[in-house]
Amino acid sequence: MGAWPEIRINNLLTGKIAPLGPRQAPSGIIKSPREGKVWLGSLGFCGDEQGDKRHHGGVEKAVHHYPFDYYPIWRDEIGHKPLLQQAGAFGENISTLGLTEKEVAIGDRFRLGDALIEVSQGRQPCWKLNYRFDVPDMALRVQKSGRSGWYYRVLEEGYVESGDYLLLQERLSPDWTLHRLWHVLYIDMLNYDELSEMAALAHLPEGWRRYAVKRLENRKVEDWSKRLTGMESD
Enumerate domains of the chain plus CATH numbers: 7-172 (2.40.33.20)
Task: Supply the pLDDT for residue 53.
Answer: 64
- In tens, the pLDDT along 102-153 reads 999 999 999 999 999 999 999 999 999 999 999 999 999 999 999 999 999 9
Task: Supply the pLDDT for residue 90.
Answer: 97
Which residues make Cβ contacts (< 8 Å) with residue 91, sequence separation at least 6?
15, 28, 29, 30, 31, 64, 66, 132
1 falls in which pLDDT band (50, 70, 90)?
A: very low
- In tens, the pLDDT along 157-204 reads 999 999 999 999 999 999 999 999 999 999 999 999 999 999 999 899
**Residue 2 scores a pLDDT above 90:** no
pTM metric for this prediction: 0.94
b/e map 44-72, b = 16+ CB within 10 Å: bbeebbbbeeeebbbeebbbbbbbbebbe
